[in-house]
Structure 1
């Protein structure tokens, strides 16, 4: 559920830092809402990748019940009723029937014209929702078209969004438009609207507040905002009288493009660090001993681990391409490619723990895994963000970590076989 606790915890800030701080002033007007929106959108996009990996697990574990898993060639026809959560991945995902649970759908195109009683989590090039969704909708896509009903909140990070006049959203709408895309809100929203983008059109009814960061805001006579309208823009919009029930708060955008770029980079750097840290803390919680052993292996033979990690990465990226050529091997190739991408993304956790432990043991005379992770990942995030050499550092750290992980796993299985346990 997309909840409102974080929004309630922070008051609306008009100035997060003054112009005197130069580029840092790019944490603009409604900074808290912007950071929250960026965080949620980032989570939605990354969530799609990790959710797909979870589907891979479900497919190979062959669950006995409680969820329904459909492969690339399967869809939900109009006469089907699924009394479970549904996980589906494919080129074109079509859901015309009824799902009495949540839907996780990923593909080139996701089209939902049926009814879903729970949440919808979708990642695709294009997502079209013509049906009814009983709870939240979370979307990371190139384009989103909403013609149906959303019972609670909408969270979207896309290139373009169209909420037609036939659509309605029961809760809040939190969105972010990437690039020079457009957002057309012609339907009704029961709660608040938070977001930003190049061009935004408001034509429906909003039950709460509207808080936007836009280049161009177009408010049509059919629009109605029962709360406040707050927006940051280079130019003031022409708003017909009687449209906004409470106050109109306009802040003129005065930052240069360079300052905006620096601010966006800082925000995304922080979000990436916090996200990777969250994954690392989860890994520590689930596999504390194995994580410690792999981290210790990094310093034993770093050069050998580097070569081994490079070989594994090359194989992991090459084999899926060969499988794609065979056509029949596309599903397996896709799963292998996704698994490889996830490993490439998360492997540096082990290097971060080792680096943090090395520093902690010298500064504090002792180390704790969670503190090592926090410190090590922070340092890694800084160095991998450096211009020119940052990507090289990222590759070295990733390959060494993958090699260490594989070496430790190979040693573990060898010992298990010697003991006759495998």
Structure 2
């Protein structure tokens, strides 16, 4: 449970692309691109979109990213807990190794047991595992003929009737790394222009958020009016409050999750973070729609006018989010501004 909370927090930080407070985290040269890393005792926690770890750690390692690579120089004294889309372990793990990934290559030394949850697991020719290998996957583990596993190999496949096969030698480590990176970049940019990953709204999604905004406007007209006034007069304050929520809440989650006592609170805060983004976008659509309805004359009056205004606002923001590069800024402005508008809309409401 504690490891799961930490990994969820790390994933949030990767998604945000922000650093922690200087006293808690630092940018690290061991990763490709921006990374966050902090240490608790002898244990290290690291996250980056593409993380390459190449040094010694006395304690355990918890890592998250799209691609996580532990090089030959990596030496982990304790357990390693890794979650990513693709994982390559070439160094030495002094304890157990647990991986959650789509694809994983283990081609180093593991003193303890190996547990894998994902689609494809491969053990390279240099793999030396002193304990057991247990994997949960719909496909058969590919194990090189030169790999050494002293314990048992247990394949808990999602599809019945599959076993463990000794495969031909897997691709060289360097080639696999470059293939992963190339496929990662092609997938990231293909058919998406230069739009930032994670900032996308489909047409059904736009309809869904538009319906929620209409419901908010009809059920809380006074609050919607206050949010509209805040959008017109206090937009900078609203955006600042929302940005503080988006950046500050993950930091607070990490600070709370460090202690065992604070784990339940951290879990609740972890649920609030995506909810804030959803309601923030809904609030922006409702406020912007009300703003539009007030400027289209008599037709914009009443319930029908509000609905028309929200439909127009949803279409405009949907189109804005779809613009390459600029779409990420539109998404951020809509979500952060909406979170702040919610505060402005409810601040004078009686509890």
TM-score, normalised to structure 1, is 0.41
Query: Which structure would you say has the larger RCO, counting Cα contacts within 8 Å and 6 or more residues apart?
Result: 2
